[in-house]
């Protein structure tokens, strides 16, 4: 499949915007997935191709957060066990089940999170100085991380919101550290999904790498914005993105 100048330009611009959105909140795939499908890729190929940019963006973003000392690693093993189990199941399902299967789940999740942010923001904004929980002491976070891996490997779009519920809501990390861990978690289950999609030859590499080139730049700038932003600013950005994500999920 050949891409013209306008299509390449659109992928570059959308990749940059998605990289920033994915780093600060989530939902960037609500831009890139429809774009890939509008350009002629079948839903399953677009879903797999989108992971190339996600994979490289999360490496770039997680490294940048780590450089600023905002990536907590003390409970990574506990976080990755449920996440990986869900990721394996989700990636296998994504190769055989239509992406639209989880549309109601995506809608419900994002609308619920929008209401939480609006009505009870303390759920995702712990008081300064709060000591984070460990996964072993938080059954709800184990379930949410498992579901995040399952959902993220399956469709990716909106998984950042699910991860923030688990990391900020259940484990009580602040929003900056939740965003940093969110990238590391996304890298984990995306790596699993990417291997399966490669083995099943479901990736269109040219548009995938075009998207990835500017998603990495967007992630780099997104980390800088996250470090400088106030917690309340991040909260409202997250709220706006969940509303936009809900609208995108409903439409597409």
SS (H, E, C) 42-98: CHHHHHHHHHHHHHHHHHHHHHHHHHCCCCCCCCHHHHHHHHHHHHHHHHHHHCCCC
Could you tell me how many residues make up the chain?
252
Maximum average pLDDT range among 110-119, 120-129, 140-149: 140-149
Say which residue, 132 or 15, is predicted with more confidence: 15
Residue 23's φ and ψ, nearest 5 degrees, are -80, -40
* pTM value surpassing 0.85: no
Dihedral of the CA atoms 189, 123, 72, 166 (nearest 10)?
A: -20
The count of domains in the chain is 1
Candidate from 63-67, 106-110, 184-188 with smallest mean pLDDT: 106-110
CA distances, 148 to each of 19, 86, 145, 212 (Å):
19, 7, 5, 22
- The token duo for 25 is 């909140």
Contact 167, 60 (CB under 8 A): no
Q: Give the per-residue pLDDT at 128.
A: 72
Q: Which domain holds residue 126?
A: 5-251
Q: Which of 99-113, 116-130, 215-229 has the lowest mean pLDDT?
A: 99-113
User: What CA–CA distance (Å, rounded) separates 183 from 148?
Assistant: 12
Q: What is the pLDDT of residue 150?
A: 86
Distance CA 112, CA 118 (A): 10
| Token pair for 182 | 């969110």
Structure-token pair, residue 3: 């891409």
Sign of CA pseudo-dihedral 26, 157, 105, 199: negative
């Amino acid at each position: 499949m050949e891409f013209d100048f306008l299509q390449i330009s659109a992928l570059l611009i959308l990749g940059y915007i998605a990289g920033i959105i994915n780093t600060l909140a989530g939902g960037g795939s609500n831009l890139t997935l429809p774009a890939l499908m509008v350009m002629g890729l079948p839903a399953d190929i677009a879903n797999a191709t989108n992971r190339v940019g996600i994979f490289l963006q999360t490496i770039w973003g997680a490294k940048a957060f780590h450089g600023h000392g905002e990536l907590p690693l003390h409970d990574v093993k506990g976080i990755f066990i449920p996440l990986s189990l869900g990721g394996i199941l989700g990636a296998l399902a994504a190769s055989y089940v239509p992406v639209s299967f989880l549309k109601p789940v995506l809608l419900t999740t994002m609308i619920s999170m929008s209401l939480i942010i609006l009505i009870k923001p303390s759920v995702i904004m712990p008081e300064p100085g709060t000591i984070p929980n460990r996964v072993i002491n938080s059954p709800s976070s184990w379930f949410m991380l498992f579901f995040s891996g399952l959902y993220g490997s399956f469709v990716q779009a909106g998984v950042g919101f699910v991860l923030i519920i688990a990391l900020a809501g259940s484990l009580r990390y602040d929003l900056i550290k939740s965003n940093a861990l969110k990238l590391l978690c996304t890298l984990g289950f995306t790596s699993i999904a990417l291997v399966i999609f490669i083995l099943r030859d479901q990736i269109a590499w040219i548009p995938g790498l075009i998207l990835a080139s500017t998603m990495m730049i967007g992630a780099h700038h997104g980390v800088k914005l996250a470090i400088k932003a106030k917690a309340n600013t991040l909260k409202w950005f997250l709220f706006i993105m969940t509303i936009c994500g809900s609208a995108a999920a409903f439409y597409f």
